[in-house]
Amino acid sequence: MMPDFLNPKETIDSLSFLKENMIAMDIGSGSGGWTIPLSRKLENGKVYAIDIKGEALSALRSKLDNERIYNVELMLADIEKGVKIQDNKIDLAILSNILFELSDKKKALEEVRRILKQGGYLFIVDWKKLSNVGPKEHAISREETKTLANELNFKLEKDFDLGYYHFALIFRK
């Protein structure tokens, strides 16, 4: 296995603040790269897997059924337009490799802020701006991400690299 590439399970296992009864959401869950290890870690909690692509959620549903994972709720939704989750409900929001795809990053993070509990965690993983890997067009730098989160009163707790290609930022509401 390439040590320099993203390993969601290892990363989730390293997040010391996670408690097994937390409620989390994986925004842009795709077919579950983060959702599945997160649902295992939060065995007495719940994970909302949110994606705008029905096919991705269908693939995730099959994996969840095959692996007998029952604490995940799938939501077909666009974080920029809002999701049907009540205010102050979520302990952790993960946005992995999704910010660069959003046209209104601030609106998306405002929606995340609405849903997060006071003291809740925002975990952002995104591509470093490299010439040969990752998105070319709309990549968002670590500094731009910090500035945007700061404007919305998120407090930076941790800033680190996840392998060679990604940066990771943990904020608190």
Q: Could you state, in order of their start, the residue ranges of all structural domains in the chain?
A: 20-172
Coil/strand/helix, residue 151: helix
* Residue pair 117/90 in contact by the 8 Å Cβ criterion: yes
Backbone angles phi, psi at 135, to 5 degrees: -70, 140
At 136, the pLDDT band (50, 70, 90 cuts) reads low
Tokens standing for residue 62: 């099959």
Does the structure show a pLDDT above 70 at 106? yes
Task: Write down the pLDDT at residue 131.
Answer: 57
Give the global pTM: 0.94
The average confidence (pLDDT) of the chain is: 93
pLDDT digit string (tens) for 2-45? 456 789 999 999 999 999 999 999 999 999 999 999 999 999 99
Confidence of residue 134 (pLDDT cuts 50, 70, 90): low
- pLDDT score at 2: 46
Q: How confident is the model at residue 132 (pLDDT cuts 50, 70, 90)?
A: low
Contact between residue 146 and residue 104 where contact means Cβ atoms under 8 Å apart? no
Round to whole Å and give the CA distance between 47 and 70.
10
State pLDDT tens for residues 58-84.
999 999 999 999 999 999 999 999 999
154-164 pLDDT per residue, tens: 999 999 999 88
CATH number of 20-172: 3.40.50.150
pLDDT of residue 1 exceeding 50, the answer is: no
What pLDDT is stored for residue 67 in this prediction? 96
Strand partners, 125: 96, 168
Per-residue pLDDT at 30: 95
Question: What is the average per-residue pLDDT within 104-131?
Answer: 93
For 3, which DSSP code?
A: T
